[in-house]
Amino acid sequence: MNRQGSGKQSVFSDREFNHKLFTLALPMSLQSLMLSAVAACDAIMLGRLDQNSMSAVSLAGQIQFIQNIFLWAATGAASVLGAQYWGKGDRKAMDDIFGICIRITMVISFLFWAGCLFIPENLMMIYTNEPELIRIGATYLRITGWSYLLTGISETYLTLLKVTDHVTMGAVISSSAVVFNIFFNAIFIFGLLGLPAMGVRGAAAATLLSRIIQVIWAIGITFRQGYLGISFHGLFSHNKLIFRDFFKCGVPILCSGALWGIGFSSYTAILGHLGTDAAAANSVSSVIRDLFCCLCNGIASGGGILIGNELGAGKTEKGRDYGHRLSVIAVYIGILTCLLVLAVIPLVLWFYVLTPEAEHLLTQMMIILAVYMIGRCVNTIVINGIFYAGGDIMFDAYSLAVTMWGVAIPVALLGAFVFHWPVPVVFACTCLDEVGKIPWVYAHYHKYKWVKDLTHGRDAQEQS
């Protein structure tokens, strides 16, 4: 197999790899798309009522975004280890891994639920100083916060489905929950089927109901034959070796996730303090960004599982070859996504009801966003797909500390509050990190530190 080959023929010539990647990436991309569609539909439907409702709910959604960072650390560690142990065929280790995962995610979910229920105004003040946006956002959080109690459970089970060859069923569950969410949104926000119009409260209630459906379905499906569930023993078992490896993966993911997520949330806070038009335009651009990241998210997740399976099975050369193919595909996806973002600008402006100033800002932001998407797609696939598959996770944290916290955030803060640059220029500053670190990412890739088997034999686990 020619792992060092280049060009279209060498990258796309492995039919087995292409089939496996397509089979995994398509449902994962669909799942990511459907999740992003919730935010898009919330913004579109609430945007038909008034601009402030749309902006407030978008800002309030940053709280779940932060929660998802912590959940991502736990489920990410479970995914990395689970993919390798599943490739190895060690079912007992899988039970230990996901038992640890669900204990951690339930604690995280409880803490965020408490924050949304008891101090929602304080949480909103992190992202805006506009009293009306704070009031609307706090109302939303008090209701939707109850769904946060269930998020950790559902995400753990969906991750379990993903790494045990049931990715399609996981995508069906997530996508169906999103369809329910959109359906309930329409009914509750606008007062259809004889119900009173609830506006923002309706959007929150729709989120809660759809999450209840999702968690019941995700748990229930694992009782069917051929599915792996989380046993009662797994909830309380303590395998020291697995626990140590879980935290060796989970802590770097949490560090990188916190650096990225809090940094990304800081971008929202900076633009949210530049006026309601800037906040509204940024809210829409964030929705568009999340929608167009779905393809690279799916390819990163699917490719990571493929590489992890091969590395866990001891087939390091094949895992390395898969990494090469994925690293080249990342560039194609980045360019394609850039062109698609530019193509949909007129459609986005037609969809949303914004002030003339907000429309002008949004047009400029989306042109900048198109260039940003090249870096975002490449870095997501290479870092979150290839590097994570072999447990090479700390590079993500290092690169974020330098490019986001060392460059993008300070420059954006100075531009917004010291030099008072125009809003599009400040927005461009928030995009510096992804574009700037592409050469660094590929230089690290060619060191091949990510080609590692993380699994242990059963004897070693039992001795721990």
Which amino acid would we find at residue 25? A
pLDDT given at position 8: 44
pLDDT given at position 35: 62
In a domain, 163, yes or no: yes
CA angle 68, 272, 356 (to 5 degrees): 120
Instruction: Tell whether the model's pLDDT for residue 329 goes beyond 70.
Output: yes
pLDDT given at position 410: 96
In a domain, 291, yes or no: yes
pLDDT given at position 10: 60
The pLDDT tens digits for 219-253 are: 999 888 888 877 766 667 777 888 888 888 888 88
pLDDT given at position 4: 44
In a domain, 1, yes or no: no
pLDDT given at position 86: 83
Sequence-ordered list of residues with C-beta below 8 angstroms from that of 456, at least 6 positions apart, any chain: 93, 241, 245
**Structure tokens of 281?**
């335009």
In a domain, 455, yes or no: yes
pTM as predicted: 0.73
In a domain, 454, yes or no: yes
In a domain, 68, yes or no: yes
First and final C-alpha spacing in the chain:
38
- Domain total of the chain: 1
The pLDDT tens digits for 378-415 are: 999 999 999 988 878 889 888 999 999 999 999 999 99
**C-alpha separations of 59 from 20, 140, 149 in Å:** 38, 10, 20
CB distance 190 to 197 below 8 Å: yes
Sequence-ordered list of residues with C-beta below 8 angstroms from that of 406, at least 6 positions apart, any chain: none
What integer is the mean pLDDT of 201-207?
A: 89
CB distance 120 to 148 below 8 Å: no
Instruction: Tell whether the model's pLDDT for residue 39 goes beyond 70.
Output: no
CB distance 421 to 279 below 8 Å: no
The pLDDT tens digits for 266-307 are: 898 899 889 888 988 998 898 889 888 888 888 998 888 889
**DSSP three-state, residue 447:** coil
Instruction: Tell whether the model's pLDDT for residue 11 goes beyond 80.
Output: no
Mean residue pLDDT across the chain: 85
Q: Which range, 56-65, 103-112, 251-260, is most confident?
A: 103-112
pLDDT given at position 5: 42
The pLDDT confidence band at residue 146, using thresholds 50, 70 and 90, is very high
In a domain, 2, yes or no: no
pLDDT given at position 232: 66
pLDDT given at position 33: 73
Domain housing 210: 7-463
Beta-strand (E) ranges in 44-155?
none
pLDDT given at position 263: 87
CA angle 115, 120, 123 (to 5 degrees): 85
In a domain, 76, yes or no: yes
**Structure tokens of 153?**
């459970």
Please tell me the distance from the alpha carbon of residue 441 to that of residue 364, in angstroms, as a whole number: 28
Better-predicted residue by pLDDT, 116 or 229: 116
**Structure tokens of 279?**
């906040």
Instruction: Tell whether the model's pLDDT for residue 310 goes beyond 80.
Output: yes
pLDDT given at position 129: 82
Burial (CB < 10 A; 0-12, 13-18, 19+), residue 289, is buried
Instruction: Tell whether the model's pLDDT for residue 456 goes beyond 70.
Output: no
Provide the CA 311 distance to its chain's centre, in angstroms: 24
pLDDT given at position 112: 93
Please tell me the distance from the alpha carbon of residue 415 to that of residue 428, in angstroms, as a whole number: 10
- What are the backbone dihedrals phi and psi of residue 108, each rounded to the nearest 5 degrees, phi first? -60, -45
Q: Which of 349, 352, 380 is nearest to 367 (CA)?
A: 349
Span of 133-147, 189-203, 334-348 with lowest mean pLDDT: 189-203
The overall longest dimension of the chain from CA atoms, in Å, is: 68
SS3 of 352-381: CCCCHHHHHHHHHHHHHHHHHHHHHHHHHH
Q: Which range, 36-40, 67-71, 397-401, is most confident?
A: 397-401
pLDDT given at position 12: 72
Q: How many CB atoms lie within 10 A of CB 351?
A: 15
